[in-house]
Structure 1
Amino acid sequence: MARIFITGSADGLGQLAAKELLVQGHRVVLHARNAARGRDAINQNPGAEAVVTGDLSGMEETKHLASEVNGLGAFDAVVHNAGVYQAPAKRILAVNTLAPYILTCLIQKPKRLIYLSSDMHLNGQLKLENFTGDRSRITYSDSKLHLQALCMAVARKWPEVYANAVDPGWVPTKMGGSGAPGDLQKGYETQVWLAASNDEKANVSGRYFFHQKEGHHSPDADDVGLQERLLNMCKELTGVSFPQ
């Protein structure tokens, strides 16, 4: 059985993915923004091994979170599920782009990495000059393109790790809204499958999935030059270098 860490697993898709992995007999460590939400997370998934807390909008808290996760030992998979949608640009950048970068760099390298993307990344732009100065130009779509590019960079630099991105669809969670038309179960099944399945179709890297099928992502995310610029910009903003 696998040991899996899931960010943003106090509610929504992260909570549901954790629940399914526990049903399958895997060991799961949860993450919540603060202690109160941490208690909620454990109440929803009492079979979890542990819950760690840290607000991903703060770089120092995110770095401390990585240290806390490492203190629990090695993981087979890390699911970067946490994200914000209707939020100020500064928070979108911190939570959706910089936090996954920091955690990828600082958490002991797992066998599998899963990044929660969105088809909205197709409308995003990798204009890295927007990271500094007027950050208000960073949008949710931009942040998901950043995440897609990070995933592709990880897949390229760490060939021994399965690194993939997932579009869960527009599903009825707190983020998606009650009127979202997507299938909630299908919204979390793919990350569960990528995190723990021995299916040869899941044991791949550098792919973009929707409902357990490979899809087409923005070609901008495949641009090695842009990937390197993204990593360098994240390093400048966070003080954390990508491990070679």
Structure 2
Amino acid sequence: MPAPIALITGASRGLGREVARRLVEEGFTVLAGVRDPARMKPLPGAEVQPLDMCDPTSIAAAAAAILARHGRLDVLVNNAGILLDQMGEVLTLDPAVLRRTLETNALGPLALSQALTPLMPKGGRIVNVSSGGGQLSVPSNWAPAYCISKTALNAITVQLAAALKPRGIAVNAVCPGWVRTDMGGPEAPRSLQQGADSILWLVLKAGPEISGGFWRDGQRIDW
């Protein structure tokens, strides 16, 4: 049986790199989506896939390359994201910062999913890496552009799950928690491995019927 094929975006560092590394260990054919391949440290066993989430031409080229090389895609982990407004409040939020954040954190995953779902067979999985900051049930007022973008990503997750249910493709969002990465910083309480575990549960362990949910550590959480 051929190895499942997974694309992980934002795989040059942090959670994306750790998820890619561990999927290689699990026997996946791993495509490491990175904006600048020249700056990426070697990731043994993974194929580097140039991919700019904000560039429709780059997304189309990635989809064409995956189709030509592999003919299908079994797993998409939309991990790439930016955090531009660690401080501040919504009343002083620069609209340009919000637009740029939404473009990367929400519109990019949507555009990539639209381009790649034609390559996904029944049983395929899309995992959108979100954040507790995007929860409406527990409103957050830190980094408003980031939190708003993750709320939007959660809404996109629900829409994609409904649209892809007839094809048997599961779509979920995951909160890896506050993780010690370049984005999370050294004070974060969770290790890189713990954050990756939360993502990998949806890739490796969740049943194929699980779709349209928001998850942390294998447990469903409120939107």
Task: Please classify the TM superposition score into its range, dividing by the shorter chain length.
Answer: 0.7 to 0.9
1:57 equivalent in structure 2: 54
Q: Match of 2:149, as an amino acid?
A: S
Equivalence map 1:1-244=2 (5 Å): 1-37=3-39, 39-40=40-41, 43=42, 45-48=43-46, 50-72=47-69, 73-86=71-84, 88-107=97-116, 108-110=118-120, 111-122=124-135, 139-159=145-165, 160-197=168-205, 199-200=206-207, 203-217=209-223
Match of 1:220 in 2: none
CA distance in 1, matches of 2:76, 2:27: 17
Whole-angstrom CA distance in 1 between matches of 2:172 and 2:20? 18
What's the TM-score once normalised by structure 1's chain length? 0.74
SS in 2 for 1:186: helix
Structure 2 Cα separation of the partners of residues 25 and 67 of structure 1: 23
Q: Which amino acid aligns with 1:61?
A: S
Q: What's the TM-score, normalizing by structure 2?
A: 0.81
Structure 1 residues 89-143: Cα deviation after superposition (integer angstroms, max 9, x where no partner): 232121111111111111134211100010100259xxxxxxxxxxxxx811111
* Superposition deviation, residue 193 in structure 1: 2.3
Work out the CA distance in 1 between the residues paired with 2:38 and 2:21.
Answer: 19
Give unpaired runs (5+ residues) of structure 2.
86-96, 138-143
Give distance in 1, aligned partners of 2:161 and 2:219.
Answer: 18
Is the contact between residue 32 and residue 54 of structure 1 (CA under 8 Å) also seen in structure 2? yes
Q: Is the contact made by 1:92 and 1:139 (CA closer than 8 Å) also made in structure 2?
A: yes
Query: 1:216–1:123: structure 2 CA closer, same or farther, 3 Å change rule?
Result: closer
CA RMSD of aligned residues (A): 2.0
Amino acid at match of 1:115: N
Residue type at the aligned position of 2:126: L
Contact residue 53 and residue 104 of structure 2 kept, 8 A:
yes
Q: Which amino acid aligns with 1:53?
A: P
